[in-house]
């Protein structure tokens, strides 16, 4: 065999080997908050995973839940996170809070979401935790701590972590900042109850993105949207994202980021949002 031909074969084999190697897994996966009906649309858009609603999963009949389990298995799109933890009618603060009702719902919800592969349950639920007018804020906080201490062991037993979501004041009147969320996590003192940060709420409450640095040991999840309209983030210069992502880069954030926003064209906006997140974390 001529030497030149031998060199050519070596080069071709090297190219084929390189092509055959799997692409490295992205350090952070980008998901999409959506209902069950949008699972296939999310997959077509190239989303890494879908973040479903706990209340939707928990409210299904047994038959419909089994159908959902089968459909999710067929779709082959991971479901590692859920949000919308508690229905608004299930109060965790105020005089109508009922511990027995809370625990019955939570046990059922945890059993179901664990079965579909969930690992983090986002606890926003502004209506459920809203403190009634005239009710003691201190007593309400005590109730919230007690609730967290009761549900965290149930979560851990199923391989789950509950992550409190600070919400803007328009949506609830307790735990409106990541700093307050950290205080709640510390008060509960259980590894099954941690923190998530939603950039939309952080921006609306004008909280310093440097809170991410303090939150690092407890930060388990992120939600992202363009605060101007709560739509998909599409361009890095459309809003001041950099201070937030700079903090994420500084702590080496390597968990999930879900887009929780509206879009009129998921197939176009999904890939653009994913690309924005990837570039922002690599700057």
Domains of the chain: 27-282 (3.20.20.150)
- The structure's pTM equals 0.91
**Residue whose C-alpha is closest to residue 148's, from 106, 203, 94, 117:** 106
- Residue 263 exposed, middle or buried by CB count within 10 Å (0-12, 13-18, 19+): middle
For the stretch 14-36, pLDDT in tens is 444 444 444 444 579 999 999 99
Mean pLDDT of the chain: 93
Percent over 70 (pLDDT), the chain: 91
Burial class (CB in 10 A: 0-12, 13-18, 19+), 240: exposed
User: What DSSP designation does 38 have?
Assistant: G
Residue 102: both structure tokens together? 């809370």
pLDDT attached to residue 23: 45
Within 13 Å, how many C-alpha atoms sit on residue 279's CB side?
13
- Reported as a single tens digit per residue, the pLDDT across 97-145 is 999 999 999 999 999 999 999 999 999 999 999 999 999 999 999 999 9
Q: What pLDDT digit, counting tens, does each position of 242-263 carry?
A: 999 999 999 999 999 999 999 9
Q: Quote the pLDDT of residue 9.
A: 42
Tokens of 147: 């609730």
**Residue 159: its pLDDT value, please?**
98
- pLDDT tens digits, residue range 52-102? 999 999 999 999 999 999 999 999 999 999 999 999 999 999 999 999 999
């Amino acid at each position: 065999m001529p030497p030149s031909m031998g060199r050519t074969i070596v080069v071709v084999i090297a190219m084929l080997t390189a092509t055959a190697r799997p692409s490295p897994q992205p350090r952070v996966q980008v998901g999409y908050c959506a209902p069950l009906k949008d699972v296939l649309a999310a997959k077509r858009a190239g989303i890494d995973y879908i973040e479903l609603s706990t209340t939707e999963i928990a409210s299904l009949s047994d038959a419909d839940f089994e159908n959902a389990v089968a459909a999710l298995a067929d779709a082959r799109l991971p479901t590692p996170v859920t949000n919308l933890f508690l229905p608004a009618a299930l109060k965790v603060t105020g005089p109508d809070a009922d511990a027995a009702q809370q625990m019955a719902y939570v046990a059922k919800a945890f059993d179901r979401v664990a079965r579909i592969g969930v690992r983090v349950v986002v606890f926003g639920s502004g209506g459920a935790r809203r403190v009634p007018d005239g009710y003691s804020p201190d007593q309400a906080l005590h109730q919230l701590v007690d609730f967290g201490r009761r549900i965290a062991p149930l979560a851990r037993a199923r391989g789950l972590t509950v992550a409190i979501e600070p919400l803007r004041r328009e949506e609830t009147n307790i735990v409106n900042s990541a700093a307050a969320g950290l205080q709640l996590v510390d008060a509960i003192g259980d590894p099954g109850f941690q923190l998530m940060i939603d950039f939309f709420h952080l921006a609306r409450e004008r909280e310093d993105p440097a809170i991410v640095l303090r939150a690092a040991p407890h930060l388990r999840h992120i939600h992202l949207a363009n605060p101007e309209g709560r739509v998909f983030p599409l361009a890095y210069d459309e809003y001041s994202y950099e201070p937030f992502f700079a903090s994420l880069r500084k702590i080496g954030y390597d968990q999930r980021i879900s887009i929780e926003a509206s879009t009129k064209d998921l197939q176009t906006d999904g890939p653009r949002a994913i690309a924005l997140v990837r570039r922002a974390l690599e700057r």
